[in-house]
Amino acid sequence: MAETPRPVTTLDLLKKKERHEPIVMLTCYDALFARLLDEAGVDILLVGDSVNQVLAGAATTLSATLDQMVYHTTIVRRGSERALVICDLPFLTYQISREDALRNAGRVMQETGCHGVKLEGGQPVAPIVRALVDVGIPVMGHLGLTPQSVHALGGYRVQGRDEKSAERLRADARALEDAGAFAIVLELVPAPLAAEVTGSVTIPTIGIGAGASCDGQVLVLPDMLGLNDRFSPKFLKRYAAMADEVRTAVRAYASDVRERRYPGPDHSFPA
């Protein structure tokens, strides 16, 4: 009988940083993919509010709801045995008050069985991070391009290119570390700045469009698999072309049905 793999913990991630061992993170939204990614050895499954765009077809993450995130995180957790499962807190579930943040993050932890939450922002949300950590909720931060602030940032573009914004990002990273965050996602940040931030904090950084010097990397799963073939940013490397494979398979199935080749004798039950 195969031995159940030991679950990944936040302490394991800190040790990986100390050993310069890269951390692997992917987004995940359902139990089936959770099982496959778990078996492939992914360290962190992020149930991102990107689900609102990737699966629900919305233009941004802003309309993602807490119920939506609880549902998807619950089913991801069912499919995972080893990976650390982290849930994005959606827009306005933590920014309004400390009490709201505690209530909503606590609901996520209680109802989904996940191992922590992720929220966006630096110094302004550091007190919220500290409040969550103080009651035992692990928190992952998110800096750089923060999708919940896409309109304030002027669109989906690289952040930290001028010295003023770069210094703000450095200060934000220090604030999140001081508040007790166990890791920080750096999204669309110039590679030299991401390398500098990574070297300046003791907690792991996870990059997406932030160069190779981060302690780990994350991609949105359907983008990486080539399922979302209409999205082609500079930072994305596709490891499969599954959209083409799905179209080919469905066309073959449709042809077999229309030509009465399926179901055949092998797929039918005798009397």
Radius of gyration of the chain (CA): 20
Catalytic residue among 167, 187, 196, 259: 187
What is d(CA 232, CA 91) in angstroms, rounded to the nearest whole number? 25
**End-to-end Cα spacing for the chain:** 38
Identify whether the C-beta of residue 145 lies closer than 8 Å to the C-beta of residue 139: no
Euclidean distance between CA atoms 219 and 97, whole angstroms: 30
Residue 217: DSSP 8-state: E
Q: Are 193 and 166 in contact (CB under 8 A)?
A: yes
Question: What phi, psi does 194 have (nearest 5°)?
Answer: -60, -40
Which helix or strand (DSSP H or E) is residue 198 part of? Answer: helix 191-200
Task: Please indicate whether residue 187 is annotated as part of the active site.
Answer: yes
Q: Phi, psi (5° rounding) for residue 112?
A: -105, -25
As annotated, the active-site residues are: 187
